Amino acid sequence: MSTVELTKENFDQVVSDNEFLLIDFWASWCGPCRQFAPVYDSASERHPDLVFAKVDTEAQQELAAAFEIRSIPTLMIVRDNVAVFSQPGALPEAALEDVIGQARNLDMDEVRKSVEEQQAQQAQQGQQAQQPQQEQQ
């Protein structure tokens, strides 16, 4: 299976249309990115049920910035519109297969519950941080 080129124009559509998406953030001048490319392409052939995508960080600087990509290559896995994995560095084939297997085995109901709990906790911390400021006024 060939990989999908992600751009700021098609990103939201591709992510929302696919339950399981692997994203390789890369650039043509990056040596480790070029070394990782055949490993990534090979995995896409072994997993035709998954969508493998690439973001050229030079051409798509807004996308790279939105995901705070600071080092390339960076691999991200998105399941059901939730980023469940993100790690910089070129993974060897066995490690990539292991990550894919772990992502496949995630209980997405548990992941969503955890995300909701974290968001609620952050919102509560934000409210607590604002209270002392309001009391000082």
* Enclosing H/E stretch for 77: strand 74-79
- Closest residue by Cα to residue 30 from 95, 88, 100: 88
Active site members:
30, 33
- Cβ contact 16:81 at 8 Å: yes
Provide the 3-class DSSP secondary structure of residue 10. Answer: coil
3-state helix/strand/coil string of 31-42: HHHHHHHHHHHH
